[in-house]
A and B are shown apart, each in its own frame.
Chain A
């Protein structure tokens, strides 16, 4: 098989016996090549090359000004045995994977279930719960740091009016991460929309048939709803975990705004992880070592470790989802 064989040609042309043994030579399709070439080039330049280069850099000492010096495994040895903050950064990221992801998915599922049952004005409710997901992440973080600020924030004012002394939220190491979970719940709209579509997709006949068979509500959820939702749930868990592994913007902006200092960037690291490294995530640590301290070699080693961890989830995803394989797609 040279160059390209059309699906349609395969399907519609009855193959004469001669063709089975000796396929006719096909002209390369220049149109197809011209259509795909930019994307393939893009993959090579912005994905394959940097991936290989990251692995290469991880064995070197390298900054933009000096040359590249090969130092073997020393970056990895430092990473796993000496780096004073990498453990904290990895644990914080793990915290978001373990807490933020399930909390968001459960809330989105509950709301989708509620919306699936609301017949009237379902579009209105859907919009209300989806809207926060549209707010630019930086704006939503700035808004939440204000809402939860201990002095004049509306949340603590309202808590106080009912006799509760609110915590310091983004200014307390113990509360900063839970505060970001509340933000994550506020912006769970996209997951909710996906769940809602899946719920509305369950054929009604299945519920009717099972209720004729005497199934009660819980049994229907167990045997009809959950199996139908399984692929979507799986998808949202894996993409959620991958997103949590790279958790950066919300934590970085929250630290910057809550500390009242200029955010990272210029004079990198001023507020990073505030309060007390509680919001220092692994992705931020790559940024600090790479672009705050210009240790490109060491930051690459950190990136390679992230690559290995994320790959596990990417592979799980690729294995499970058959539709990703073009030969199986319609």
Chain B
């Protein structure tokens, strides 16, 4: 029932002034309390990241001395710069390759009708939805036979051949480019590559940006892939994977672990603030109309 009450119709229903003010206050009070609860984890993690290691062993929430050197200690404890580099290589190259291969495929599936198009699109949906563990063993065997395990290449190279989720998302964006534009270009004698490059890509730029961001975040956040292919080679680890092993490998010092946690969060949060609008539009499109 509370859920229903929250979903209630517009505030402009006929009601006494006092009552609607009461509703307004209670709603905003709820928002403030919930916002505090949602932000608290990051605040506590940040505070702990600045404590001395002795203080992390005591029952305290706020650092007595603000020990910023913890952040440097992370770099001294593990090859963090290298791991960040690996993450950047993984995320950027995956994204670039994905766009090169998936944008044209999405254009064909959105704008051109041909026999077999629904079969290909159906296969893309199924590939996107099925859990990766279903296909992971033969794919792993394939990369092992090519002697490419122990590196991030098995995670980067497949993007050359399209990514199901990205093709799906890009197609949904391309569908919104009005047919009149592509038709007019075709009348003028433009080929498909020209139409894609000159008409569709400029008009669907926010969509392409969203797909690129999702791909970047997916790679940056990936744990299962690096676990599978790089766990035996520490020099190839991305930061996400390195963070997961950090506490087990380097004792129980929460302050340095939390400093590293903050360092892993910062790049994605910064990227989000630069591209917030694109991001929200993209998420909305993944969920609303299929």
Q: Name A's B-contacting residues (CB within 8 A).
A: 1, 3-8, 10-12, 29, 31-32, 34-36, 38-43, 45-51, 53-54, 57, 64, 106, 109-111, 113-118, 125-132, 134-139, 141-144, 146-147, 149, 152, 154, 157-158, 160, 186, 190-191, 193-194, 197-199, 201, 204, 207, 210-211, 217-218, 220-221, 224-225, 231-232, 235-236, 239, 242, 245-246, 248-249, 252-253, 256-257, 259-266, 271, 283, 286-287, 290-291, 296, 299-300, 303-304, 306-307, 310-311, 313-314, 317-318, 321, 323-327, 329-330
Contacts and interface: CB of A to CB of B under 8 A. Distances in A.
Given A4-B113, A47-B127, A245-B131, A194 B9 contact: no
Contacts of A220: 8-9
A204 B272 CA distance: 31
Contact of B38 (A12, A132, A147, A327): A132
A46 B182 CA distance: 32
18 contacts: A12-B183, A29-B112, A42-B101, A54-B138, A57-B137, A113-B6, A117-B27, A126-B280, A142-B243, A146-B45, A152-B58, A193-B287, A197-B288, A198-B287, A235-B287, A235-B288, A236-B287, A283-B133
A1 B115 contact: yes
B267 to A, nearest CB: 9
Nearest to B125: A324
A50 B138 CA distance: 5
Contacts of A158: 61
Contacts of A307: 130-131, 134
A217 B8 CA distance: 6
B39 interface: yes
Contact of A35 (B6, B35, B192): B192
A266 B227 CA distance: 9
Nearest to B1: A218
Nearest to B271: A134
B71 interface: no
B71 to A, nearest CB: 15
Interface in B104-139: 104-105, 107-115, 117-118, 120-127, 129-139
A51 B35 contact: no
A146 B124 contact: no
A287 B265 CA distance: 27
B76 interface: no
Contact of B108 (A35, A143, A259): A35
Question: How many B residues touch the partner, as a band?
Answer: 35 or more
- Judged by DSSP, the binding face of B is helix
B133 A306 contact: yes
- Looking at B59, B114, B231, the one whose CB has the most chain A CB atoms below 10 A away is B114
A128 B39 contact: yes
B128 to A, nearest CB: 9
Contacts of A245: 131
B112 A7 contact: yes
Interface of B: 2-11, 13-14, 27-28, 30-31, 34-35, 38-42, 44-45, 48, 56-59, 61, 101-102, 104-105, 107-115, 117-118, 120-127, 129-142, 144, 158, 160-164, 167, 175, 179, 182-183, 186, 191-193, 196, 217, 220-221, 223-224, 227-228, 231-232, 240-241, 243-249, 252, 254, 257-258, 261, 264-265, 268-269, 272, 276, 280, 283-284, 286-290
A114 B6 contact: yes
B261 A110 contact: no
Contacts of A211: 9, 13-14
Contacts of A114: 6, 27, 30-31, 34
Contacts, number: 376
Contacts of B257: 142, 146
A265 B121 contact: no
B56 to A, nearest CB: 6
Contacts of A111: 34
Contacts of B175: 329-330
A48 B290 contact: no
B254 to A, nearest CB: 6
A41 B101 CA distance: 11
Contacts of B31: 114-115, 118, 125
Contacts of B127: 43, 46-47
Given A8-B179, A43-B162, A217-B13, A248 B224 contact: yes
10 smallest A-B Cβ distances: which pairs?
Answer: A42-B161, A194-B287, A39-B162, A265-B231, A246-B131, A35-B104, A39-B105, A53-B138, A50-B135, A50-B138
A47 B138 CA distance: 10
Nearest to B242: A138
A39 to B, nearest CB: 3
Contacts of B118: 325-327
Given A118-B28, A134-B217, A326-B118, 7 more contacts: A43-B164, A114-B27, A131-B39, A138-B244, A198-B287, A248-B224, A313-B129
Contacts of B191: 31
B29 to A, nearest CB: 11
Contacts of B39: 128, 131
B7 A109 contact: yes
Given A117-B11, A134-B272, A8 B183 contact: yes
A147 B38 CA distance: 13
